[in-house]
Amino acid sequence: MKEIIQADQGGETLRIPPGVFLLFLVLFASWIAMGGSFSPLFLLVGAILCLFISIVTWRPFFGRRMFFSPAGLFRRGGFFLLFIPSFLLAMVKASLEVAFQAFSPALDISPGTFVYRPSLRSKGSIVALANAVTLTPGTLTVDMSPFGELTVHALVTRNGGIEKLKEDIGKLEKGIGRFAE
């Protein structure tokens, strides 16, 4: 992989992959677009934060299994943009299910835990899945084993609840795998 930026760090050469620079540019452009300010302090804080986020997140999410290419980055970005509406839909659906459970005259909940074994390979992808599960109402990722297995606490586990949740988590996993693997 070619290095675009090299700096001497006390005898060592710090190599920054070209994807980090492109990710920095995308994040910084987003920072400016959302902030709408061009004050020097705002731009400096944004540049520092975006550079830090780019360096920290590049390797776990992009750097290990991917050779940098702008087409690959845009493809992953497109899959990420497609994932957002499906994730929001899953959140709304789960929110309605939890609300119906809460306002039902006969409270029919059966809290419990189960283990979900994702097929995702990278730790960053598994962490993203764990966070997506936790953000979905009615579920909470309690633990992640060193082998990537997720222990999930759910509000409803009986009468096919676990199978339904595993299917829903599988859909989230597929979406995350498309942009993060």
3-24 tens-digit pLDDT: 444 444 555 666 667 778 888 8
The whole-angstrom separation of Cα 21 and Cα 98 is 42
> In Å, how far are 55, 68, 104, 165, 171 from 15, measured between CA atoms?
11, 14, 58, 43, 37
2 — pLDDT class (breaks 50, 70, 90)? very low
Report phi then psi at 172, rounded to 5: -60, -45
Between CA 156 and CA 169 the distance in angstroms is: 14
Contact 179, 124 (CB under 8 A): no
- What are the residue ranges of CATH 3.30.70 in the chain? 78-180
Q: What is the pLDDT of residue 36?
A: 80
The CA distance from 148 to 133, in Å, is 14
Q: What is the arithmetic mean of pLDDT over 143-170?
A: 90
The overall average pLDDT reported for the chain is 84
CATH for the stretch 78-180: 3.30.70
